[in-house]
Chain A
Amino acid sequence: GNSVTQMEGPVTLSEEAFLTINCTYTATGYPSLFWYVQYPGEGLQLLLKATKADDKGSNKGFEATYRKETTSFHLEKGSVQVSDSAVYFCALSPTGGGNKLTFGTGTQLKVEL
């Protein structure tokens, strides 16, 4: 079956540090890949997505590249801010899967001044 593995948190960084949150997946075919973010006290929001190999999703300074050869979709940001503190979820929807999402366990990010 499909699965998503992402690095465990919590991750604590200083403001303006570089962020990488690793995400790898197992799926047949060509799934679509997503990063969702959950800010404290709020609902889950789509951060970025990529629908085919080598696509780069980007939003709010965050980027992730769909790497089929390594089955990865790592999230990066060059300079984090305190306001980026949240839980980040990597997810996939299978090829033609009707958008049923399989999520990773989530990575809590805390950015300090």
Chain B
Amino acid sequence: SAVISQKPSRDICQRGTSLTIQCQVDSQVTMMFWYRQQPGQSLTLIATANQGSEATYESGFVIDKFPISRPNLTFSTLTVSNMSPEDSSIYLCSVEDITTFFGPGTRLTVL
């Protein structure tokens, strides 16, 4: 099974700033996913990130707001840009390795 780490584990940010979340996997994986879990809500897929190609965004999410990088098969970043309090969520990285594994999440609070 894949082991996934995320940095930071949590952060408190000011409105209008940006935060980049890192996701590191202990093995090479083709598909990586970014999810958002808003307070009291379920998980929602933001985008799929494959190495060597542009990320594919789900409806309601755009690259300008959530730029994603995938420089290699073990690493990805998600940036939350120009943050507002509505962006306060847990952001989770996940990978497909026979089944789907999730990172521990990054808890973001925007003031």
Q: Is B45 in contact with A101, judged by CB distance below 8 angstroms? A: yes
Q: Does A100 contact B (CB under 8 A)?
A: yes
Contacts known (A43-B105, A49-B99); A100 close to B48, Cβ less than 8 A: yes
Kindly state the separation between the CA atoms of A42 and B44 in the bound complex, as whole angstroms. Answer: 18
Contact-residue size bin, chain B (C-beta under 8 Å from the other chain): 20 to 34
- Count contacts between A and B, CB distance < 8 Å: 46
A42: B residues at CB distance < 8 A: 104
How many residues on chain A are close to B (CB under 8 Å)? 19
A17-25, A60-68, A72-80, A103-111 - the one binding chain B = A103-111
CB of A99 closer than 8 Å to a CB of B: yes
Does residue B21 face the partner (Cβ distance < 8 Å to A)? no
B102 to A98, Cβ gap below 8 A? no
Report how far A49 CA is from B101 CA in the complex, Å. Answer: 13
Q: Is A27 an interface residue (CB 8 A)?
A: no
Given A43-B92, A98-B31, A98-B48, also A103-B102 (CB < 8 A): no
Per-position 1/0 for A21-48, Cβ under 8 A of B: 0000000000000101000001111100
Q: State in angstroms the CA–CA spacing of A88 and B100 once bound together.
A: 16
Quick one: closest A residue to B95, CB to CB?
Answer: A99
